[in-house]
Structure 1
């Protein structure tokens, strides 16, 4: 199975090229046209991403994440959320790379088979980087008013958090 994974991407690329040749299309020109159409999209995505990354860095440097985790500690204890997972739960909605770093630290400190490690693993795999996703997708098409998207997405993230603790408590403890 490991050797099959090495060949999947080249096989997909070869099949696309062969399909283009079969349809008698100039595959390279079609590729260049697609790349040209992608440049404006990339340019439109960059400003929201720069703003998001700057805000994350500022909140992290100011200690706002720590203060937010402490302010929400009554809620976390009510949910039986391990204290080490709280920063991950907050960061997961904001930054994929930031949450991955916190996740790695949790696994190194507690181990992957601990309750905390398992809750962190389920949380990491069952939630989304909401703010990043909204910034990229809405920014790429020029939508500035997200309406109900953000509250609904944060509710889904919270549900993922609660279900992470519940799932590990019921099935993996």
Structure 2
């Protein structure tokens, strides 16, 4: 319901601002600009979805092999002591636990192309458990917080982009990003747990959070002793080795379970394609709304007001 009001507000406020600009300033370009933004935003939404199609098909195909091969269920059992406390409303051992872990792991390695489809898969599974389909559940909120805070242990993609843009030192963001995302994730867990009345003061959670702190400290110490070339080489190599290990491990697990891994992959890939198609209307709705809002000049008014208030 809130999203409904927000989306309507984009258009109503945009129209009002544009009307004021037309009447009082004589801006004859504002309405054409708004209409152009609707077409451009619609095209962008489709291109984003199209770009995700291949990646979604790949990773949901791999996840399907993992599910049939028992890997996802095994991950769910292993992580159950921690996740049953962070996500108390998820049934113990449910496959969504494995999907959530895979998404978080991909985010930790800054593998956006892998994290996105895994996150969509996890959210779909959470929606299946949702008794009230039009309202986000506590597990959905906690997962969204973890996903958004995005603990990044090895920012592979960012360092690659910086290197491509000829940054003087592509790896100098490594420790700041690690610390920033670590504290944002820790804060998100604590605040959300307080809101959802989740007790974090127990042996399991203290060990889990303490272990996370130890891992972050070890990474900072280890990478802090490397030069920028070595840091870049090690981080990229580790991330890609882990990723290929996951893919190969899932396939081997499927073979051990005597499933047809190829057909299973195709079945999951079809789900990825349908997921990419299903998100198009949502992308179009939001991008067009934001595009019209920006084209009208309303966004500039808000940012200008915020800037004046801050200064």
Q: TM-score, normalised by structure 1?
A: 0.52
**Residues 33-69 of structure 1: CA deviation (Å, up to 9, x unaligned):** 5467768966874665233212222122212695145
CA separation in 2, counterparts of 1:124 and 1:77? 16
Q: 1:126 aligns with which of 135, 142, 145?
A: 145
Instruction: Pick the structure with greater CA Rg.
Output: 2
Alignment equivalent of 1:90, drawn from 82, 101, 104? 101
Give the SS at the match of 1:29: helix
Matched, 1:101 2:112: no
How has the CA–CA distance of structure 1 residues 19 and 71 changed in structure 2, closer, same or farther, with 3 Å as cutoff?
same
Distance in 1 of aligned mates of 2:125 and 2:141: 14
The correspondence of residues 22-33 of structure 1 with structure 2, limited to 5 A, is 22-25=24-27, 26-31=29-34
Following superposition, the deviation at residue 158 of structure 1 comes to 6.9
Does 2:65 correspond to 1:55? no
- RMSD over aligned CA atoms reads 5.2
Distance 1:44 1:153 in 2: 31
| Between 72-81 and 46-55, the greater mean CA deviation after superposition | 72-81
Question: 1:101 deviation in Å?
Answer: 1.9
CA deviation string 1:49-100 (max 9, x = no partner): 2332122221222126951451464344256454335135236553454233
Deviation at 1:103, TM superposition (A): 0.9
Alignment TM-score, normalising by the size of structure 2 = 0.34
**SS of 2:26 mapped into structure 1:** coil
Gap regions ≥5 residues in structure 1: 132-137
Verify the 8 A CA contact 2:149 2:181 in the aligned structure 1: yes
Q: Where do residues 154-173 of structure 1 align in structure 2 (5 Å cutoff)? A: 159=186, 163=190, 168-170=197-199
Q: Which has the higher contact order (CA 8 A, sep 6+)?
A: 2
